[in-house]
Amino acid sequence: GKVAAQLDAKNYHDYKPTAMKAVLAAHQRLTQKHDVVVVEGAGSPAEINLRDRDIANMGFAEEVDCPVIIVADIDRGGVFAHLTGTLDCLSQSEQDRVIGFVINKFRGDRSLLTSGNDWLEQKTGKPVLAVLPYLQGLYLDSEDSVAVEQHTTDAKLKVVVPVYPRISNHNDLDAMRAHPQLDVELVGPQLTPNHPPADLIVLMGSKNTQADLTWFKAQGWDKTLAKHLRYGGKVLAICGGMQMLGELIADPDGIESLQKESCNGLGYLPLTTTMTNSKELTLKQGVIALPKQSPVPINGYEIHAGDSQYQLNEVTRVVIDDSDNDNVGAGFLSSDQQIFASYWHGLMDTPQALNAIITWASNGDSFDEIDYEALREQSIDALADSLEEEFDWERYREVINKFT
């Protein structure tokens, strides 16, 4: 999508009727192209204070007249209270479109759940359509936030990631986090900043680069970064992270922030960035050729509002964009070769590109090659197999036919 406006919570709520038009148009396009459309809600469908003008849950379901399945994770505890409480908070018309429940992430003896399921069905008149097991070791994208699991095995490369409040495209880390020879530690806000040592610091993308840069400094990361580079550490900066390392970030039209202002960057890269109304949305392919390494293919995508200008004589281009040979932002090294910066998201999803980047970060160490895309596909297959096996398809067909 493209940025329509920068709104605070109150103004966003007022904007929702306009946003609903775009949501309904997207739904119509999908239903015209596909036989079945699965619509995933956001958060809880029973947020009473947000029900007016809701566009993501029951408000949308009522608008397009679709059936609803309520899903709850049992590993959080209180699953039956969660399901019955949610149902009770819905209006009668909303309750009528709920065709059943799914209990997710169950561990242990399934028979211990039988009496609870029977009670739930008797109390609500709605069937439990599935009890899905907790599946370990899946390599799947996190939905809305950065997952916190870390490697506990001995690692050859220590990677530290500042988790600023408006971090974006956190799935850029997934391939690194799946690698058994990397220890990836995510560091959020701290009352007394105490940042762990690292071989590589990764600066991720941001939904509001200036605001996250302010947070970055307030948390003492500017001092940590200076020390890290002074002692020879490496930095990987992606999209907004690259903009932070430049000399200036200008937002004269208030694209990312309500304040139409500029701020100084950290000054490690010879570039200036201006936020613009036009947003880059492009799939990318190219070649990455880091020092003392053979060139290998690299894929990614650009999704950003910033337009950066570079001092070409002070950078070394290491990623060549197949579709735009002049695209410096595809990937370059700082003059001291300690910082690798790129506008491309997903640049580590292919095994050759990931290996090239971590080999550079480790000053030439060798690593096992893992194919994260293959791991992700295997995980999706495992999830689909579990759903196919555990779902009560006969009961599902019965209730869905009654609804339609």
Residues tagged active-site: 239, 345
Please count the helices (runs of H) and the strands (runs of E) in the chain: 12, 17
Token pair belonging to 5: 């406006």
State the DSSP string of 299-350.
EEEEEEEEEEEE-GGG-EE-EEETTBTT-GGG-EE-TTS-EEEES-BTTTSS
**Cα separation, 369 vs 355, whole angstroms:** 7
Q: How many residues does the chain have?
A: 404
- Quickly tell me which residue has 């990455």 as its tokens: 288
Beta-strand relationship, 68-73 and 98-106: parallel
Residues 6+ positions from 309 with CB-CB distance below 8 Å: 271, 272, 273, 274
Q: Are 170 and 376 in contact (CB under 8 A)?
A: no
Q: Are 168 and 240 in contact (CB under 8 A)?
A: yes
**Cα separation, 304 vs 117, whole angstroms:** 47
Q: Are 173 and 204 in contact (CB under 8 A)?
A: yes
Token pair belonging to 128: 């439990």
What angle (nearest 5°) sits at the alpha carbon of residue 370, between those of residues 367 and 372?
140
**Cα separation, 133 vs 386, whole angstroms:** 8
Which residues make beta-bridge pairs with 351?
Answer: none
Q: Which of these, 250, 280, 278, 264, lies nearest to 342 by C-alpha position?
A: 280
Token pair belonging to 325: 């040979």
Token pair belonging to 255: 């694209």
**Cα separation, 401 vs 99, whole angstroms:** 10
For 155: left if phi > 0, alpha if psi spans -120 to 50, otherwise beta; the answer is: beta
Token pair belonging to 331: 């990937």
